[in-house]
Structure 1
Amino acid sequence: MVEHRSMDGWVQVEDYLSATLVHGGAGMDAVVESIDAAGMPRIEVAPTAGKLLMLLARIQGARRVLEIGTLAGYSTIWLARGLPGDGHVTTCEFLPLHADVARKNIDAAGFGAMVEIRVGAALETLPALAGGEPYDLVFIDADKGNNLEYLKWAIKLTRPGSVIVLDNVIWEGTILDPGGDPDAGAIRDALEFMGASESLDATAIQTAGSKGWDGFAIAVVR
């Protein structure tokens, strides 16, 4: 896995933006603390990215959201914050420990009735969602090796006009020359699929901050 590195200036700017614009609240700080307490990896989205997900849900007018990769529920809560009272988030998490931590955090944030956590390999749990009401927004932030398959499922489970967000698409720039990094190669494959797909209209944004040099791709389903 690539090592993500941050420059002091990047983190200072991110901290300033978070304090000035994000206003996540003590509840979001508690989620981060739960990650550390459980010995989980600190791979949750940055606060600025979390609020972006919330705003995207609102801009989209989303009522149903699918998330692939729950971790401790940090991004899940941000997504739920962007939905109306009758909204619903389905989130897929591979590890039971992570799902347990996420459930406690989501319940504490007041979104327990709105969020369903599906535990297990996402490629095994996603097929059970087929045939249901389509999702308005999909956020993919899980194991990078399966990004392409997750994207294909996202298209199957959405509708024209739905939004798909794929996190971690720059990977410290290794997408230009993946070499022996299978994650970088898988990310590149996913980006090329997005660019060539007749079902998607996509772009990507580079970011620099506490999570290093990275970014996300965003697409609208045609």
Structure 2
Amino acid sequence: MSTETWSAVDAWFAERLRPRDELLAGAVAAGAALPQIQVSDLQGGFLAVLARAIGARRILEIGTLFGFSTIVLARALPEDGHLTSLEASAEHARVARGNLELAGLADRVEVRLGRALDSLDRLADEQVEPYDLVFVDADKRHNPQYWAWALRLTRPGGVVVVDNVVRDGRVLDAASTDPDVVGTRELTDAVARAVSDGKVVATVLQTVGSKGWDGFLVATLS
């Protein structure tokens, strides 16, 4: 199968299940100068369905980019819900905040600027209420640390989703020195230990589509 076929299948389903959304299209246009590494429409739909299915009221997102997944997840929240998104790039945060304002979601989303590990440390110091859903889509080399923080900040029964864990199959390469592959393999080992200890139930969903061959790690806390 070619990537063209994967993309065509994505488009066929998205046309029917995820009709064109002008606000999301505008967010993509506003972020055109930034890396186009946001989730696809269908992947965003998966996140939204998951958030609604667990009745998420509080969401933590690690990695904002220009706010595509942020908007999708924030829309899945109830009126009294709140989403905190962590972004290291001032330019990314600026564009994302503009997109959230246009989407009418600025009142329920806080974009925190700064290194994610520092922001997570501050959230812990603030003794924030535990999160229902954590979506990790940032620099992959730090995924093991993000996972450790997610375990600490997520409520029992809550869900953690980590994007880009398959990496075109490169995750199988134990000899890789690519920091993203190394980080993903270390993340998987950490999740495996949590599974063995009975702390979480976890799985990985491989995905193919307009974003190529990749996958989500999904875990729920015991």
TM normalised by structure 1 equals 0.94
Could you tell me whether the CA contact under 8 Å between 1:24 and 1:47 is conserved in 2?
no
Question: Where does 1:194-213 land on structure 2 (aligned, <5 Å)?
Answer: 194-197=191-194, 198=197, 199-213=199-213
2-structure distance, mates of 1:118, 1:145: 20
Alignment of 1:126 with 2:120, yes or no, is yes
Q: Which one-letter code corresponds to 2:131 in the other structure? A: Y
Partner of 2:153: 157
2-structure distance, mates of 1:59, 1:97: 33
Which region of structure 1 is more displaced relative to structure 2, 187-196 or 89-98?
A: 187-196
How many pairs are equivalent?
Answer: 215
Q: Which one-letter code corresponds to 1:148 in the other structure? A: P
Poorly superposed stretches of 4+, deviation over 6 Å? none
2-structure distance, mates of 1:28, 1:132: 29
Partner of 1:193: 190
- Describe the SS at the equivalent of 2:86: strand
2-structure distance, mates of 1:154, 1:23: 32
Q: Which one-letter code corresponds to 1:203 in the other structure? A: T
Question: Where does 1:28-39 land on structure 2 (aligned, <5 Å)?
Answer: 28-36=24-32, 39=33
Partner of 1:107: 101
1-structure distance, mates of 2:16, 2:82: 29
2-structure distance, mates of 1:87, 1:193: 30
Could you tell me whether the CA contact under 8 Å between 1:140 and 1:166 is conserved in 2?
yes
Cα deviation per residue 1:87-141 (whole Å; 9 max; x = unaligned)?
0000000001000000000111111100001101000011111122100000000
Relative to 1, partners in 2 of residues 1:149 and 1:24: Cα closer, same or farther, differing over 3 Å? farther
Alignment of 1:9 with 2:27, yes or no, is no
Query: 1:185, CA displacement in angstroms?
Result: 1.4
Question: Where does 1:6-85 land on structure 2 (aligned, <5 Å)?
Answer: 7-36=3-32, 39-85=33-79
2-structure distance, mates of 1:24, 1:60: 26
Query: 1:27, CA displacement in angstroms?
Result: 0.7
Structure 1: stretches of 5+ with no match in the other structure:
1-5
2-structure distance, mates of 1:205, 1:120: 30
Partner of 2:90: 96
Partner of 1:218: 218
Query: 1:24, CA displacement in angstroms?
Result: 4.8
Could you tell me whether the CA contact under 8 Å between 1:195 and 1:201 is conserved in 2?
no
Determine what percentage of the aligned residue pairs are the same residue: 46
TM normalised by structure 2 equals 0.94
Structure 2: stretches of 5+ with no match in the other structure:
none
- Describe the SS at the equivalent of 2:182: helix
- Describe the SS at the equivalent of 2:31: helix
Could you tell me whether the CA contact under 8 Å between 1:34 and 1:101 is conserved in 2?
yes
Could you tell me whether the CA contact under 8 Å between 1:194 and 1:201 is conserved in 2?
no
Query: 1:159, CA displacement in angstroms?
Result: 1.4
- Describe the SS at the equivalent of 2:34: coil
Note the aligned Cα RMSD (angstroms).
1.0
